[in-house]
């Protein structure tokens, strides 16, 4: 009995102690307690900051994302829940932000932390990082039938798909041996690998695996990249909160391994082998009911076999559907190419004949009619180009051409194209360009024009009252890198949020009524979005129904510092410092804009909107204005009557030079300016470089420069006029007539052939006198390729120019294989056509193939085209001479540096040397060296040592010859 009592008392004491221990443990583990071993500073921090505001990536599946219900989920969300449970902190996730916006808010400390980010040196400037708590592996995804890719090195010489601007994109950019195919999202890239369009995709194992399963992509396998260490993700907090990092690290350390595995299994669940533990347990449990198991197994095996048969049939059906889709896509491409060819050929006739008609004696009204024909033809051509561009975008075949260009020239061409639509709508147009915006850049000018024309035409189409405006500004500038902002505003019908959401979807125009009312293909803005993305830019849209829309395009561009310096020199050289200018403009906006432009040129100016005030100011003898800029519509009595009165006014002792601003679409007024002693006129809207050049023409005596330029041009043309002969091979009689007429106007003798066989025969009979061949590629009897091959058997030197409406990818490469080294696409611009033909003849190309070392003149004759160089220098012979001297001085040691770099296999250094020389060579008129530089750069990037030796040797020989020629022209002093 006593033993029993003792036992009971002991048991009671033990239970009491256990209860106390449990209570103590519960208190210590409670949120806000100190089971984590927090310091006093960390506890005070939690009391002062109980809620932590987080910025997250809404699409970083499966690490963090918002589901369809708007709930924050993912691996990071599960870890945050455990941290909150262990610390008592509350985490508040910011919603409605993109990842870029969330990151910027965290940098600005509008948000406190980023829970799931990689660690970089750049980010360490703004954030403190926890211990790594998530790892991810970079892997290669290939089709399950692929047996060629086993290691990362197997990718050398191949093309890999990768998500644009991802960490994997940055990683692969360091491997020059691997070409990249960039995709906007991972799903499209995975599908491309699954259907055989792409060979391999490089990405994050967990994310890619999750998206593949979510989208039903099942025929992929992944291969780890063993040369790459696993990457890690961290919790990042603002740099002035080290206490928060300490708290998070202690909470992470307290999370047990079982919880970590459960989180990983929940979201990643990547298995390399099957788990048969359940089967073993089932066998053990079912040992007593074997008969039942056999029956059930037989039932399920039968059902599975049936399911397998169904799935195999479905897979076969899908494969057949894929083949049919591929065939349909090939048929579409062939159809588009054929359609383009058939439409472009008559368009070439329309544009060419309109050009020739304009060269005849016709009235101003007839000239306007011809201009409308040309404009309509170009609009039709742009529609064709839109369709072809969309097809190229779908196939990922759009490439950018990076060349020097003037942004003012781009704006001028854009405005000239859209003014017809503006006038048709009877609305206003306003152009504003920030004077701080540079003028010369490297980039694809035609693609930028395409972007702006599409947006402006779209704005004009949906605006029936008010105005459309284009604002060109500078968002950022660092050294030679700029971020330009093009803003297009309209006062049109506007759009709802729903319409804005699908604005960049192909063939979509808001709703069906839009197409009925306004027309259009619905492709323009889709192409704009893709081109902006390709240029690594951004396009934003805001709109209010009934009030209008605003399109904002951000484009990063590199400044052509050499040409920009010359432009700025002309704009602010001080030659206008003592010129007093009076601006007469009726609108305050126009007045302010003109004053801004003039002041950026260094011209002091005053402005008025009143005719009486202008006359009063001009009569002031102390002011003595040198230039009067007057808007055509400002004088009440009309500009011509105002000018007559001004010139006849005896009170105005110092008569100013007069520049008139002509309204849009009033080209007929230019013919009248000379009748009223008006010095010059320019069309509105005002483009800064056009205004500058007009003022230069008025005040600078360019007679000497023009005479010298004329001498240079005539010297270069002596080879052409009366001596050069061109063979035109084309089966289209209209195209023959156009080419023959244009060439004869340039003083070139023309021989004609109706097909390829006739072209071979004509060349054989006139081989010694034919300097150039224009070859249509698609002709009866014998096509242009076959004819060129036959001509190459007897002459490796005569230049052959492909003249075709064919725009299929690979045409230029195919032409090269047949010895055709130049290319013109129909419909061609007549002025460009003549310029290219004359350049080929004047630069001494006749009788020599441009891409072989033996064919090029090694004595330098024909390498330097002074006519082109002078045009690039604004017809300024003194400037051109100075530039040639600087070019020679700067490059005397370049041949030896390049030779050593190639010999020592420092191809990256060699490519840098060639790149530096390339643009300046084009600027001074050394086109052959520029073209060879382009090819040598490609060889240094992807070619063999033998090719690098061969092309660099040819390049060095040509450069030495050019330096000798420049020395002969400007003297041999460095």
Give the separation between CA 926 and CA 862, rounded to whole angstroms.
Answer: 9
pLDDT at residue 3 in the model: 43
Q: C-alpha angle 422/426/427, rounded to 5°?
A: 65
Query: Which residue, among 234, 245, 244, 246, has the nearest Cα to 119 in the 3D structure?
Result: 234
Q: Residue 288: its pLDDT value, please?
A: 62
First-to-final CA distance of the chain: 121
pLDDT recorded at residue 557: 92
What pLDDT is stored for residue 874 in this prediction?
Answer: 61
pLDDT of residue 757: 92
Q: Which helix or strand (DSSP H or E) is residue 100 part of? A: helix 99-107
pLDDT of residue 518: 41
What is residue 236's predicted lDDT score, i.e. its pLDDT? 94
DSSP structure string for 476-490: EEETTEEEEEEEEEE
Provide the pLDDT for residue 914.
84
Q: Own/partner pairs for 871-878, CB < 8 Å, 24+ apart?
A: 872/563, 872/923, 872/924, 872/925, 873/566, 874/566, 874/570, 875/702, 875/705, 875/706, 875/709, 876/705, 877/705, 877/708, 877/709, 877/712
pTM of the shown model: 0.41
Q: Is 609 helix (H, G, I), strand (E, B) or coil?
A: coil
CA pair distance 349, 361, nearest whole angstrom = 20
DSSP strand pairing (403-406 vs 538-544): unpaired
Rounded to whole angstroms, how far apart are CA atoms 349 and 179? Answer: 41
* Nearest-angstrom CA–CA distance, 201 and 139: 8
**Amino acid 284: pLDDT:** 59
Residues of the chain with confidence (pLDDT) below 50: 1-33, 270-280, 507, 509-521, 573, 701-721, 844-861, 973-974
């Amino acid at each position: 009995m006593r033993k029993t009592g003792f036992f009971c008392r002991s048991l009671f004491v033990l239970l009491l102690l256990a209860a106390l221990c449990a209570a103590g443990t519960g208190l210590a583990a409670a949120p806000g307690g100190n089971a984590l071993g927090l310091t006093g500073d960390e506890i005070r921090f939690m009391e002062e900051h109980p809620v932590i505001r987080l910025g997250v990536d809404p699409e970083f599946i499966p690490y963090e994302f918002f589901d369809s219900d708007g709930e924050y989920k993912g691996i990071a969300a599960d870890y945050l829940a455990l941290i909150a449970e262990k610390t008592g902190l509350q985490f508040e996730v910011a919603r409605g932000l993109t990842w870029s916006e969330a990151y910027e808010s965290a940098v600005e400390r509008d948000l406190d932390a980023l829970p799931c980010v990689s660690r970089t040196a750049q980010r360490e400037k703004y954030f403190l990082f926890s211990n790594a708590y998530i790892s991810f592996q970079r892997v290669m995804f290939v089709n399950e039938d692929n047996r060629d890719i086993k290691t990362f090195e197997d990718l050398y010489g191949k093309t890999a798909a990768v998500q644009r601007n991802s960490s994997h994109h940055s990683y692969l950019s360091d491997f020059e041996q691997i070409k990249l195919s960039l995709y906007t999202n991972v799903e499209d890239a995975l599908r491309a690998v699954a259907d055989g369009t792409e060979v391999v995709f490089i990405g994050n194992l967990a994310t890619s695996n999750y998206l593949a399963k979510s989208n039903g992509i099942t025929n992929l396998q992944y291969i780890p990249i063993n040369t790459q260490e696993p990457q890690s993700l961290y919790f990042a907090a603002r740099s002035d909160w080290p206490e928060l990092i300490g708290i998070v690290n202690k909470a992470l350390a307290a999370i047990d391994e079982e919880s970590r595995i459960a989180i990983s299994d929940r979201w990643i669940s990547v298995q390399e082998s099957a788990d048969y533990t359940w089967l073993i347990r089932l066998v053990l449990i079912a040992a007593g009911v074997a008969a039942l198991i056999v029956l059930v197994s037989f039932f399920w095996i039968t059902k599975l076999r049936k399911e397998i048969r169904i799935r195999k049939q479905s897979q076969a059906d899908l494969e057949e559907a894929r083949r049919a889709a591929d065939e349909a896509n090939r048929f579409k491409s062939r159809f588009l190419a054929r359609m383009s060819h058939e439409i472009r050929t008559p368009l070439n006739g329309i544009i060419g004949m309109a050009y020739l008609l304009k060269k005849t004696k016709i009235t101003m009204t007839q000239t306007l009619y011809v201009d409308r024909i040309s404009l309509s033809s170009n609009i039709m051509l742009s529609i064709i180009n839109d369709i072809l561009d969309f097809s190229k975008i779908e196939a990922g075949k759009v490439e950018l051409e990076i060349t020097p260009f003037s942004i003012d020239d781009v704006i001028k061409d854009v405005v000239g194209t859209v003014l017809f639509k503006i006038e048709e709508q009877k609305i206003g147009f306003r152009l504003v360009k920030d004077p701080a915006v540079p003028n010369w850049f490297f980039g694809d000018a035609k693609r930028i024009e395409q972007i702006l024309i599409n947006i402006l035409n779209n704005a004009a189409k949906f605006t029936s009252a008010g105005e459309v405006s284009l604002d060109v500004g500078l968002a950022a500038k660092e050294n030679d890198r700029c971020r330009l902002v093009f803003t297009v505003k309209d006062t049109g019908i506007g759009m709802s949020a729903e319409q804005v959401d699908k604005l960049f979807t192909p063939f979509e125009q808001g709703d069906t009524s839009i197409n009925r009312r306004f027309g259009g293909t619905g492709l323009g803005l889709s192409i704009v979005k893709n081109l902006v993305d390709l240029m690594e830019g951004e396009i934003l849209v805001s709109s209010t129904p009934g009030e209008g829309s605003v399109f904002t395009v951000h484009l990063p561009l590199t400044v052509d510092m050499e040409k920009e310096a010359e432009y700025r020199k002309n704009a602010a050289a001080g030659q206008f410092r003592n010129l007093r200018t009076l601006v007469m403009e009726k609108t305050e906006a126009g007045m302010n804009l003109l004053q801004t432009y003039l002041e950026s040129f260094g011209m002091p100016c005053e402005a008025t909107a009143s005719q009486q005030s202008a006359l009063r100011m001009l009569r002031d003898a102390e002011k003595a204005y040198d230039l009067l800029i007057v808007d055509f519509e400002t004088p009440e009595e009309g500009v011509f009557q105002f000018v007559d009165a001004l010139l006849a006014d005896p009170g105005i002792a110092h008569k100013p030079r007069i520049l008139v601003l002509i309204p849009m679409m009033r080209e007929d007024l230019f013919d009248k300016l000379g009748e009223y002693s008006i010095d010059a006129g320019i069309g509105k809207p005002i483009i800064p470089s056009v205004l500058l050049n007009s003022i230069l023409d008025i005040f600078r005596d360019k007679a000497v420069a023009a005479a010298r330029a004329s001498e240079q041009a005539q010297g270069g043309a002596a080879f052409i006029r009366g001596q050069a002969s061109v063979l035109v091979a084309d089966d289209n009689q209209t195209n023959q007539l156009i080419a023959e007429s244009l060439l004869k106007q340039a003083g070139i003798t023309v021989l004609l052939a109706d097909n390829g066989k006739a072209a071979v025969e004509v060349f054989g009979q006139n081989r010694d006198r034919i300097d150039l061949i224009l070859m249509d590629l698609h002709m009866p009897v014998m096509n242009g390729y076959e004819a060129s091959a036959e001509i190459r058997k007897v002459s490796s030197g005569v230049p052959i120019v492909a003249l075709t409406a064919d725009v299929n990818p690979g045409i230029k490469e195919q032409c090269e294989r047949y010895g055709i080294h130049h290319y013109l696409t129909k419909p061609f611009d007549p002025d460009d056509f003549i310029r290219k033909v004359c350049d080929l003849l004047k630069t001494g190309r006749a009788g020599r193939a441009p891409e072989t070392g033996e064919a090029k003149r090694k004595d330098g004759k024909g390498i330097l085209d002074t006519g082109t160089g002078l045009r690039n220098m604004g017809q300024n012979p003194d400037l051109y001479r100075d530039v040639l001297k600087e070019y020679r001085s700067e490059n005397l040691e370049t041949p030896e540096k390049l030779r050593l770099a190639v010999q020592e296999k420092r191809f990256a250094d060699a490519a840098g040397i060639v790149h530096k020389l390339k643009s300046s060579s084009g600027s001074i008129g050394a086109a052959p060296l520029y073209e060879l530089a382009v090819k040598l750069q490609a060889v240094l990037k992807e070619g063999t040592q033998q090719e690098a030796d061969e092309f660099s040797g040819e390049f060095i020989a040509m450069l030495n010859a050019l330096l000798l020629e420049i020395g002969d022209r400007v003297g041999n002093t460095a």
